[in-house]
Amino acid sequence: MSRFIKWFSLLALLALMLGACTGGQQQAAEGGKPFRVAVVMPSSISDLAFSQSMYDALVGIQQEMGGPEKFEFVYSENMFKVDDAAAAIRDYAAQGYDLVIAHGSQYGTSLREIAPNFPNTAFAHGTTNRTFVEEGVKNVYAYEAASNEGGYVNGVMAAKLTKSKIVGIVGPIDVGDAKLYIEGFEKGVRETDPSIQILKVFTGSFGDVALAREAADAHIAAGADVLIGTGQMVVGAIAAVSEQGGKVLWIGTQSNQTKLAPEVIVANQVYDWKVVLREIIAKVKNKQFGGESLLITLKNGGLRIEFNENFSRLGEAKPAAEAAIQGIINGTINAVP
């Protein structure tokens, strides 16, 4: 009897673990042939940042294309271990998905290995501009965000809003999308008001919420009154800003973070991957499986600045921000760091 209980409990545990590991699925109805997409993401679809931006775009594309009968997608989230992600990518390709998206630049090396084994499957990979086409791989798309553009606009807003003339940055690791965004921000601040002091902390992790909070507190203690940050861990920094009761402001990126702290968030740069997804899907339907690098920008609408219309001091920043957006779109402002 006790042996039975032991095995039963072990099985139950195993079932729980499996249940926890498998991502959600959206099954298409029978009949017809939907376009099938699988995506592998490093963090959670509700991270208010990188992974959520892709998830939201896929949901949007599904609506545009007429629901799950026409566009089916599955996802594996929290694939922070690259080995696990590689296994998932290979598995999805073997299952015959039309497009397999590896949403994380850290998956690049694995994708380069896997893609040639599935020449009739299209892959997409971001954020990066590397399609591996020069290495003979023909079925990988690359996509990235010109996050420096929204960074620049956020920098202009921060410069207009700061009273202490000190602004703070909470970053994860000084590479890739985070680096681009932060350098765009710094340029925006400097070109608006060179006298402003910019403080910067990298926590070394995309996941360490506690450290992000301490970084924000350190900035605030040093006198910063407008903070920005990028990475999933910034929710800790936003909590710290929120506790200051309106004395310190936050400007977001990647997803709309306003509902986290509606009274202190000025605006957010929002990534809308629908722009590149539409293009990739159209090309895949025409049997072009890769070899191109695509970019979301303010100009093509893949990047948007979403203002928090309820924020009390928005008037001090919005006109300058809108001018900066126009300048970047028509080329009079160069937001490249």
Partner 1 sequence: METTPLFSLAVVTGILTAGIRLASPYLFAAIGEMFSQRSGVLNLGVEGQMLMGAFTAFYVTLRTGNPWLGLLAAMLVGVLMGLAMAVVSITWRAVQGISGIGFYIVGMGLSELLFKALLGEVKVINTGFNAIHIPLLANLPVLGEIFFRQNIMTYMAFALVPLAWFVLYKTTLGLKIRAVGENPHAADTLGVNVAQIRYLTVTMGGVLSAIGGAALSIANLNVFQENMTAGMGFIAVALVYFGGWKPFGVLFGALLFSMVMALQIFLQVYRFPIPSEFLIMMPYILTIVVLVLTVGRVRSPSALTRPFVRE
Write out the residues near partner 1 by the rule CB under 8 A. Answer: 6, 9, 13, 16-17, 19-21, 43-44, 46-48, 78, 80, 168, 173-174, 195, 197, 199-205, 207-211, 213-215, 217-219, 221-222, 232-233, 235-236, 238-239, 242-243, 259-261
- CB 57, min distance to partner 1, A: 17
SS3 265: strand
Separation between Cα atoms, residue 159 and residue 249, nearest integer Å: 12
- CB 102, min distance to partner 1, A: 20
Q: Is the peptide bond before 297 cis (omega within 30 degrees of 0)?
A: no
- CB 218, min distance to partner 1, A: 5
223 close to 189: Cβ distance less than 8 angstroms: no
**66 Cβ contact list (under 8 Å, min separation 6):** none
Separation between Cα atoms, residue 192 and residue 60, nearest integer Å: 36
Q: Which CB, 145 or 224, lies closer to partner 1?
A: 224
- CB 252, min distance to partner 1, A: 12
125 close to 304: Cβ distance less than 8 angstroms: no
62 close to 28: Cβ distance less than 8 angstroms: no
Q: Which CB, 195 or 330, lies closer to partner 1?
A: 195
Distances in whole angstroms, Cα of residue 6 to Cα of each of 1, 3, 9, 12, 16: 9, 5, 5, 10, 15
- CB 245, min distance to partner 1, A: 10
Residue 312 CB neighbour total at 10 angstroms? 10
Q: Which CB, 224 or 275, lies closer to partner 1?
A: 224
Q: Which CB, 55 or 132, lies closer to partner 1?
A: 55
Q: Which CB, 146 or 233, lies closer to partner 1?
A: 233
**30 Cβ contact list (under 8 Å, min separation 6):** none
85 close to 40: Cβ distance less than 8 angstroms: yes
Q: Which CB, 64 or 174, lies closer to partner 1?
A: 174
Half-sphere exposure at residue 32, Cβ-oriented, CA atoms within 13 angstroms: 13
Separation between Cα atoms, residue 6 and residue 16, nearest integer Å: 15
Q: Which CB, 172 or 290, lies closer to partner 1?
A: 172
The tokens describing 87, both together, are: 């296994």
- CB 47, min distance to partner 1, A: 7
Q: Which CB, 107 or 202, lies closer to partner 1?
A: 202
Scan for tokens 């949007």, then name that residue.
60
- CB 251, min distance to partner 1, A: 16
**84 Cβ contact list (under 8 Å, min separation 6):** none
Q: Which CB, 24 or 301, lies closer to partner 1?
A: 24
- CB 215, min distance to partner 1, A: 5
- CB 192, min distance to partner 1, A: 15
118 close to 95: Cβ distance less than 8 angstroms: no
Helices and strands in the chain, H and E counts: 10, 12
